Amino acid sequence: MLKKWLLMLMSIVLFSVIGTGCAGSNEAKKEEGKIIVTTTIGQIADIVKNVGGEHVEVTALMGPGVDPHLYQASQGDIQKLSNADMIFYNGLHLEGKMGEIFEKMGKDKPTVAVAEAIPAEKLLKSADDANAYDPHVWFDIDLWSIAVETVRDELSKFDPKHEEDYKKNAETYLQRLQEVKAYAEEQIAQIPEESRVLITAHDAFGYFGHAYGIEVMGLQGLSTDSEYGLKDVQSLVETIVSRNIKAVFIESSISEKSIKAVVEGAKKRGHTVNIGGELFSDAMGEEGTEEGTYIGMYKHNIDTIVSALK
């Protein structure tokens, strides 16, 4: 009797182990008729979740605190990309080390760079490279709305049976994004004009500054791939002291070391500059928290910036 019971227990355990395996669960979802989608950054996964709703099963490769510029796909990631029905990534070289993988995956399945669907004349040029664009488009809500429309259209093309649902979901999500934009404009209006300077570890906030009339400075360039030197620290310190800037910001996906060097540098010059808080730039917050959603992280950034600079 006991033996029989043990055997049953063992087979249950074994079955659930197989069932929760990566490929196994994807297969199960496929049987449920869900579209398996793999994305790079969480901001894109958030679009797919909202627009795809019950028809999709979404996995983001890059979780909280992960820097997409330096990210290298693991064997497990390749598996997730291979198992997917569709892949959405940012493009414009945000995922600088993954270009070849996307090219390869694109031969078998829809592999869509959502930021590259935005008309080039709306993009900001890179300061360091005349042929490149700033990839951090999610900080301009109007541009990010084009990414939402791209996801809507690609899902509809892949799964025309549910086109109406994708349209309806996208409309709701786009409406919510416009509300966030209105909130941002209203909040930023509280910052005195001369204090509208945003200093962070790397140049992730160019579109943000462009959208809301805030001057943006980063210690590192558009990609964290570039090194920063003593000279960059000194020139930023010079700006902070001469313009009497009160706060600088750290980013969740980048070491605090560089910004702390700037704070120290200002201190030596007799100027106190505070760390205004942590911003979500290239990665969102923990899943299951407010900041683990695009809208939540955007509002967190607005509130943090406004309370430190106003």
- Least distance in angstroms from the C-beta of 113 to Zn ion: 16
Answer yes or no: are the C-beta atoms of 273 and 245 closer than 8 Å.
yes
Shortest CB 150 distance to Zn ion, Å: 20
- Beta-carbon contacts of residue 85 (< 8 Å; ≥ 6 apart): 30, 35, 36, 37, 109, 110, 158
CA-to-CA separations, 123 to 38, 92, 143, 280, in angstroms, rounded: 25, 10, 9, 21
What are the two backbone dihedrals, phi and then psi, of residue 198, each rounded to the nearest 5 degrees?
-115, 115
For the bound state, the minimum distance from the C-beta of residue 280 to Zn ion, rounded and expressed in Å, comes to 11
Please, what is the minimum distance in Å from the beta carbon of residue 182 to Zn ion? 26
For Zn ion, give the closer residue by CB, 92 or 204: 204
Q: How far apart are CA 36 and CA 59, in angstroms?
A: 8
Of the pair 173, 208, the CB lying nearest Zn ion is at 208
Cβ-based nearer residue to Zn ion, 88 or 207:
207
Closest CB 49 distance from Zn ion, rounded Å: 22
Judged by the rule CB under 5 A, the positions of this chain that interact with Zn ion are 204, 282
Q: Minimal distance in Å, beta carbon 224 to Zn ion?
A: 6
What's the min distance (Å) between Cβ of 185 and Zn ion? 24
3-state class (DSSP) for residue 287: coil
What letter would DSSP give residue 126? P
Give CA separation, 257 vs 87, 101, 166, 240, in Å: 34, 32, 43, 17
Distances (CA, A) of 232 to 92, 269, 290: 25, 16, 34
Tokens representing 207 are 């579109």
- Smallest distance, Zn ion to C-beta of residue 148, A: 20
Residue number, 30 or 97, with CB nearest to Zn ion: 97
Comparing CB distances to Zn ion, the nearer of 24 and 63 is: 63
Nearer to Zn ion (CB atom), residue 111 or residue 252: 252
Choice between 86 and 204, CB closer to Zn ion = 204
If the CB atoms of residues 169 and 253 are measured against Zn ion, the closer one turns out to be: 253
Q: Do 137 and 126 form a contact (C-beta atoms < 8 A)?
A: no
From residue 146, alpha-carbon distances to 35, 67, 129, 193, 231 in Å are: 22, 24, 24, 29, 38
d(CA 72, CA 57): 23
* Beta-strand pair 274-279/56-62: unpaired
